[in-house]
């Protein structure tokens, strides 16, 4: 098996290398790509040192079994179709192809089956969406979710290494915001992405559109507010849902226990508690009745929300297609 990792010097890229090794995936050959900025730097994979190469169109004019792509939307739009033309499977962390009806948008635990006999670009969903749908898909199967109201508390690392650097500089007193629209240190910023004419942000609409596509149910009424908080790693979400059928809390617990890679947790779970985990943590489940539910949802955004899901997509594709 031959693999390429594009954006290997980034937050998600470096984590994907870690997750590949944790899952003991040892390709016969592997290439690492970045922009010209990091090209030439060394990267370690299974105790061996590799040199990062600058990505060019020629780099992808051969068939890779899998390309793990995490270099942003514009890079993906330009390079993924070239790789697809040469017969490669591209697992793309950007939003470039998530809305494309011809490309699967995959959380393997939920809809991984659609990868059977598929070759080409596979979209990895937005980080906030992945951890939300993982906690909701079994409840949706059992009771039918009619409405979701979600507020996110998203870490600086969701904006990549530049986001982390900006928060760390602000802690040292350098406060000019560039990556975030306002100072993030000692603050909370209720804007992620750009505002659209409706007043919703692009990040909020990702949660709406991607949830519909992954759960294959466009009838769910979804109301998101996405907020950046001065946390380095780990996204939290307050999720309120309404269901079509009446539930009991015992049945909800049963659904969550059956949800793959979801952990029902006691007490108040915080991003620091779960850093480095591949699970999504659900806690503080509350209700006043038997048709609406509120809970707290926390996951490691770089792992669950990106790298781990990408590697899980690859493993599911391998399992289904030999």
Ligand X SMILES: NC(=O)c1ccc[n+]([C@@H]2O[C@H](COP(=O)([O-])OP(=O)(O)OC[C@H]3O[C@@H](n4cnc5c(N)ncnc54)[C@H](OP(=O)(O)O)[C@@H]3O)[C@@H](O)[C@H]2O)c1
Q: Catalytic residues, which ones? A: 127, 235
We find the least distance from the C-beta atom of residue 88 to ligand X, in angstroms, to be 16
**Is the CB of residue 25 less than 8 Å from the CB of residue 91?**
no
Q: What distance in Å separates the CA atoms of residue 16 and residue 20, rounded to the nearest whole number?
A: 6
Non-local (6+) Cβ contacts of 36 within 8 A are 54
Give residue for tokens 């809970």.
295
Q: Is 71 a binder of ligand X (CB under 6 A)?
A: yes
Candidates 2-10, 104-112, 137-145, 292-300; binding stretch for ligand X (CB under 6 A): 2-10
We find the least distance from the C-beta atom of residue 18 to ligand X, in angstroms, to be 13
Which residue from 205, 302, 304, 314 is in contact with ligand X, where contact means CB under 6 A?
302
- Taking CB under 6 A as the criterion, which residues in 125-184 touch ligand X? 127, 157-158, 160-162
In the bound state with ligand X, the residue whose beta carbon lies nearer, of 94 and 280, is 94
Q: Is 271 a binder of ligand X (CB under 6 A)?
A: no
Q: Which two tokens stand for residue 125?
A: 């969903």
In the bound state with ligand X, the residue whose beta carbon lies nearer, of 112 and 160, is 160
Q: What distance in Å separates the CA atoms of residue 195 and residue 304, rounded to the nearest whole number?
A: 26
In the bound state with ligand X, the residue whose beta carbon lies nearer, of 54 and 217, is 54
Sheet with strand 221-225: strands edge to edge: 221-225, 145-153, 235-243, 292-299, 280-286, 262-264
- Taking CB under 6 A as the criterion, which residues in 81-110 touch ligand X? 93-94
Q: How many residues bind ligand X (CB under 6 A)?
A: 31
Which residue from 17, 55, 148, 262 is in contact with ligand X, where contact means CB under 6 A?
55
In the bound state with ligand X, the residue whose beta carbon lies nearer, of 17 and 127, is 127
Q: What distance in Å separates the CA atoms of residue 131 and residue 214, rounded to the nearest whole number?
A: 12
In the bound state with ligand X, the residue whose beta carbon lies nearer, of 3 and 302, is 302
Which residue from 153, 305, 312, 314 is in contact with ligand X, where contact means CB under 6 A?
305
We find the least distance from the C-beta atom of residue 10 to ligand X, in angstroms, to be 2
**Is the CB of residue 136 less than 8 Å from the CB of residue 288?**
no
Q: Is 290 a binder of ligand X (CB under 6 A)?
A: no
We find the least distance from the C-beta atom of residue 34 to ligand X, in angstroms, to be 4
Q: What distance in Å separates the CA atoms of residue 251 and residue 254, rounded to the nearest whole number?
A: 5
**Is the CB of residue 301 less than 8 Å from the CB of residue 234?**
yes
**Is the CB of residue 239 less than 8 Å from the CB of residue 223?**
no
Site string (6-45) toward ligand X, x via CB under 6 A: xxxxxxxx-------------------xxx-xx-------
- Compute the radius of gyration of the chain from its Cα atoms: 19
In the bound state with ligand X, the residue whose beta carbon lies nearer, of 36 and 117, is 36
Cα–Cα distances (Å) from 167 to 10, 176, 292, in that order, read 17, 10, 37
DSSP sequence for 93-106: -SSTTTT-TTS-B-
Interface residues with ligand X (CB under 6 A) are 6-13, 33-35, 37-38, 55, 70-73, 75, 93-94, 127, 157-158, 160-162, 301-302, 305-306
């Amino acid at each position: 098996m031959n693999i390429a990792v594009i954006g290997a010097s980034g937050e998600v890229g470096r984590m994907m290398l870690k997750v590949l090794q944790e899952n003991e995936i040892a390709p016969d050959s592997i290439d690492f790509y970045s922009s010209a900025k990091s090209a030439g730097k060394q990267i370690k994979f299974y105790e061996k040192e590799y040199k990062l190469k600058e990505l060019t169109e020629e780099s992808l004019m051969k068939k890779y079994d899998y390309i793990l792509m995490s270099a942003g939307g514009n890079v993906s739009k330009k390079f993924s179709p070239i790789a697809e033309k040469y017969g490669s499977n591209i697992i793309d962390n950007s939003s470039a192809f998530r809305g494309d009806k011809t490309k699967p948008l995959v959380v393997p635990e939920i809809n991984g089956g659609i990868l059977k006999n598929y070759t080409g670009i596979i979209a990895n969903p937005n980080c906030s969406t992945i951890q939300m749908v993982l906690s909701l898909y079994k409840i949706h199967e059992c009771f039918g979710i009619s409405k979701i109201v979600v507020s996110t508390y998203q870490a600086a690392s969701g904006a990549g290494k530049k986001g982390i650097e900006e928060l760390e500089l602000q802690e040292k007193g350098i406060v000019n915001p560039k990556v975030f629209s306002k100072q993030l240190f000692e603050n909370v910023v209720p804007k992620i992405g750009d505002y659209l004419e409706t007043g919703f942000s692009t990040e909020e609409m990702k949660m709406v559109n991607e949830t519909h596509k992954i759960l294959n149910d466009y009838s769910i009424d979804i109301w998101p507010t996405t907020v950046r908080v001065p946390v380095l790693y780990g996204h939290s979400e307050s999720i309120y849902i309404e269901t079509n059928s009446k539930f009991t809390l015992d049945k909800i617990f049963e659904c969550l226990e059956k949800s793959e890679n979801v952990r029902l947790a006691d007490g108040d779970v915080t991003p620091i508690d779960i850093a480095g985990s591949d699970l999504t943590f659900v806690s503080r489940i509350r209700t006043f009745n038997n048709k609406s539910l509120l809970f707290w949802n926390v996951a490691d955004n770089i792992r669950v929300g990106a790298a781990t899901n990408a590697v899980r997509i690859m493993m599911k594709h391998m399992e289904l297609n030999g």
